[in-house]
Amino acid sequence: MRSQYAIKQLSIFLENRKGRLKELTETLYKAQVNIRALALAESAEFGILRLVVDNPEKARSVLSAAGFTVKEQSVFAVEVEDKPGGFYQVVKLLSEADINVDYTYAFVGGGDRAVLVFKVPDENFDKALEVVYKGGIKLVEPIFFYGS
Amino acid sequence: MKPNAADYLSREEFEALQLRRLKETVTRVYNLVPFYKAKFDEVGIRPQDIRSLEDIKNLPFTTKQDLRDHYPFGLLAVPMDQVVRIHSSSGTTGKPTVVAYTEHDMKVWIEVMMRSLLMARVGPGDVVHNAYGYGLFTGGLGFHYGAEALGAAVVPSSVGFTKRQLMLMRDFGATILCSTPSYALHLAEVAEEEGFDPRNDFKLRAGFFGAEPASEGLRQAVAEAWGIKYFEAYGLSEIIGPGVAASCEYGELHIFEDHFYPEIIDPATGEVLPEGEEGELVFTTLTKQALPLIRYRTRDISRIYREPCRCGRTILRMGKVVGRSDDMLIVSGVNVFPSQVEHVLTKVEGLTPNYVIVVDKRGVLDVLEVWVEVDERIFTGDLGSLENLKHKLEEELANHLFLRARVKLVEPKTLERSMGKAKRVIDRRELQEKLGG
């Protein structure tokens, strides 16, 4: 299932320095890379920007060339109804299977369905996919993010 | 006779040779250099008062400031028509210091460079890629002449144009690399960025690294990145350039003491310290003609050991230079050497030792910050692990420095990395004092 549902997420180390986010987004814009989902984690001095983009290879290479530290990791995404309890359903399944969620964030698009991105510890990745799938939740294939 | 035969003389032979040469040198400078005559007269010592090697402790010191004060040729012991080479420091920290060589001095320099390179058995068939700066800096030409005299093929690439250097190293089949350790690491990083495996895609077998302080961690990082044996080259232009000391196959740094007589002194009092104790390294040149120096204070903090080495050499050994007496930072009354900080950073697994120490004043208090680059080898993509790293480093620094230091994680390659000597310390306190702040 991993090969079918694993989505490449890029994590980028950012100093909390004026203009750095602008430089990053400008680099992606110039390479015509589209950001599909994002989240920013931060401490007082630095942050990590997490991105799911339409072309991860290209994004990674232009960001590295521009001097950013980039790490690629696997995440998965699910589609739930955009109504109370949608998020709960997924988290409950993972929790019952004793899988810790490192972090999660939502897809930027609209519509009546919500797309949620989940990062779990790598050793639990396959198990998480299985649990969610068996729990009747729709897993989103990478083509949803990568396709233009 | 092999060029390194003197490395194996008995202690008695050495000391007799050193005493004879010391007496000659002292007599020459007293008679030929007014500066030395005045200094010797001031303390009431005459050349004939030097009867044993121990008597050297009665001679006055010479400092870098003395060289500057007599810029450019005031300390020369020969007329200009005997000078065949002149080198000079950049003078970024004051007036440049000028050093001159006679034909005989050049022979001595080449000899000690050959003895250095013979530590790695450099000879015909070796391709020596020399990435020390050519020009007024002694590093480039020093290694060049030594390697050439041993019959190796020298590639005088000098510094800069890193990608082209890598191409030449690969295409010419370089077996020996000569550069500063930080530049050697930079070369390996760029090689990796270019898609090469530095350990397997190159023919390097050894390297001679020097001209800047390097911690054990940096040495290991260079040796591992290239998969080569690390040889240290120690020297300073005032004494001769590179070739004052070099490390053997066991990593022990041997001083070519038949030409450069070493002492360790207490930097504060000038007292000679017993063998094995840490202090400032002082050299007296024993064979130099153009610019003989009596008890020249190197500012380098080290030790010397007399017992013979496993490699069989009898010339004495010096410890690694742990700092410079003028690089020593005093932060909130605590002595801090940049090398201590580097040691801590490289102890933490996977960390590229690229950092800057920033000392600042907040109110009346000194604040020590260490800026460390986060590169792809340490970045897991996880915020928690970066915070752990920061705390672990802060804890280790506090343990080693007996002082709180704040660690700041910064993006790679944002720190200033010069092509030659790496700038490791930014002391903003001085700036504030200059600005009257």
CATH code: domain of residue B392: 3.30.300.30
Residues of B in contact with A71 (CB under 8 A): 376, 379-381
Query: From the list A15, A20, A69, which residue is nearest B375 (CB)?
Result: A69
CATH code: domain of residue B193: 3.40.50.12780
Confidence band (pLDDT; 50, 70, 90) for B399? confident
Return the pLDDT at B420: 44
Query: From the list A20, A45, A67, which residue is nearest B408 (CB)?
Result: A45
Return the pLDDT at B418: 42
| B408–chain A Cβ distance below 8 A for any pair | yes
Give the mean pLDDT of chain B. 89
Domain edge (last residue) among B325, B352, B371: B325
> Are both B362 and B347 inside the same structural domain?
yes
> Are both B342 and B261 inside the same structural domain?
no
Return the pLDDT at B424: 79
Convert the pLDDT of each residue in B138-184 to its tens digit: 999 999 999 999 999 999 999 889 999 999 999 999 999 999 998 99
Suggest the residue from B194, B380, B388, B411 to mutate for an interface test with chain A (most A CBs closer than 10 A): B411
> Are both B304 and B363 inside the same structural domain?
no
Domain edge (last residue) among B268, B301, B325: B325
The first and second tokens of residue B375, run together, are 């590169």
> Are both B302 and B289 inside the same structural domain?
yes
Domains of chain A: 7-73 (3.30.2130.10), 75-146 (3.30.70.260)
Query: From the list B380, B408, B411, which residue is nearest A71 (CB)?
Result: B380
Which position has the token pair 């000194």?
A: B366
Size of interface A-B (CB pairs under 8 A): 49
Reported ipTM: the value is 0.84
> Are both B117 and B235 inside the same structural domain?
yes
Measured CA to CA, the distance from residue A117 to residue A121 in angstroms comes to 14
CA distance B71 to chain A (A): 44
Domain edge (last residue) among B325, B350, B374: B325
> Are both B279 and B132 inside the same structural domain?
yes
> Are both B51 and B168 inside the same structural domain?
yes
Judge whether residue B350 has pLDDT over 60.
no
Return the pLDDT at B349: 61
| B381–chain A Cβ distance below 8 A for any pair | yes
> Are both B32 and B152 inside the same structural domain?
yes
In whole angstroms, what separates CA A19 from the centre of its chain? 23
Contact B376 A42 (CB under 8 A): no
DSSP assignment of B47-60 equals GGG--SGGGGGGSP
Return the pLDDT at B419: 43
Which of the residues in chain A have pLDDT under 70? 108-110, 147-148
Q: Which residues have a Cβ under 8 Å from the Cβ of B408 and sit 6 or more positions away?
A: A45, B369, B370, B371, B372
CB burial of residue A21 (10 Å; 0-12, 13-18, 19+): middle
Secondary structure class of B124 (helix, strand, coil): coil
> Are both B321 and B346 inside the same structural domain?
no
Return the pLDDT at B91: 61
Cis peptide before B124 (omega within 30 of 0): no
Confidence band (pLDDT; 50, 70, 90) for B3? confident
Residue in A87, A88, A120, A115 with CA at minimum distance from that of residue A101? A120
Return the pLDDT at B320: 87
> Are both B302 and B371 inside the same structural domain?
no
Q: Which residue does chain B place closest to A120, by CA atoms?
A: B382
Range of the domain at B104: 1-325
Considering its fold, how many domains does chain B have in total?
Answer: 2
| H or E stretch covering B214 | none
> Are both B339 and B218 inside the same structural domain?
no
Return the pLDDT at B437: 38
Q: Which residues pair with A138 in a beta bridge?
A: A79
Contact A67 B381 (CB under 8 A): no
Residues of B in contact with A14 (CB under 8 A): 411
> Are both B304 and B379 inside the same structural domain?
no
